[in-house]
Amino acid sequence: MKLFTRSLAALLLLVASLAPSWAVNITILVGNNYYHGPNNTNSDSDVRIITVGDVVTWTWVAGSHPTMSDSSPAAWATFPMNSASPTFTRTFNTVGIFPYHCTSHGGPNLGQYGSLDVRVATPTATLDARSAGITVNVFPNPSRGQVTVQFEQKQKLSGDYKLRLNNIIGQEIRTFALKPELTSAGLPLDLTDLRAGVYFYSLLVDGKVVTTKRLVLQN
């Protein structure tokens, strides 16, 4: 029994130490009649699938949009979303669907609303990618927009490889498919149409972030 207890405790400590590497930080922009998360810039609503442990931050852009939880019981007390209270952050540790809406410009599944579908994390692809020595680098850095993506893997794995580029407030700007057979010469990308500033690029394997690095674009 003591051995079992010790083994269980060690397993729980291992899971706890790995959990932060699975979690994703998600920014949902809140503006005049819209909730915009990554990949959503055209609709009033924002419905997305996340995993247990992910951290969601609602960030004010314009207007005033008190955001109410439609869960029963409520997942959070209605929070103001305006210039005086520009952010609200919550970590989702429970599986379930968490709908919400702006009390001034929407209702449940109507107008300005959103929903988070929280599912069990599937970290296998991420951990396999790291153990296989899969890395990505974008250079030169800083750059004036003409860059090369260098993708390396010590051990080949099957999966969906992507490079995601986000701006400094978490908006997804571009996503590029990466093929495992990409040579060491790299993949040239033209980012000259983007504004100068700080960006972040992430390597995704089967939708899971393996690594995130900073890229500086200059005029």
The total of structural domains in the chain comes to 2
Distances (CA, A) of 180 to 3, 27, 97, 157, 177: 43, 29, 35, 8, 10
The answer to whether position 204 is within a domain reads yes
Give the residue-averaged pLDDT of 141-147: 93
Question: Model confidence over 5-16: pLDDT tens digits?
Answer: 454 444 444 333
pLDDT digits (tens, 9 = 90+) for 87-136: 999 999 998 999 999 999 999 989 999 999 888 765 444 445 555 567 78
**Whether residue 61 is found in the same domain as residue 145:** no
Render pLDDT for 44-78 as a digit per residue (tens, 0 to 9): 778 888 888 889 999 999 999 999 999 999 999 99
Q: Using an 8 Å Cβ cutoff, are 152 and 135 in contact? A: yes
For residue 11, being part of any structural domain is answered with: no
Task: Kindly state whether residues 58 and 107 are assigned to the same domain.
Answer: yes
CA dihedral 17, 152, 38, 22 (to 10 degrees): -10
* Type of residue at 158: S
Which of 80, 27, 36 has the alpha carbon at shortest distance from 54? Answer: 27
Does the predicted model carry a pTM greater than 0.85?
no
Has residue 216 got a pLDDT over 50?
A: yes
Which structural domain range is residue 74 located in? 20-119
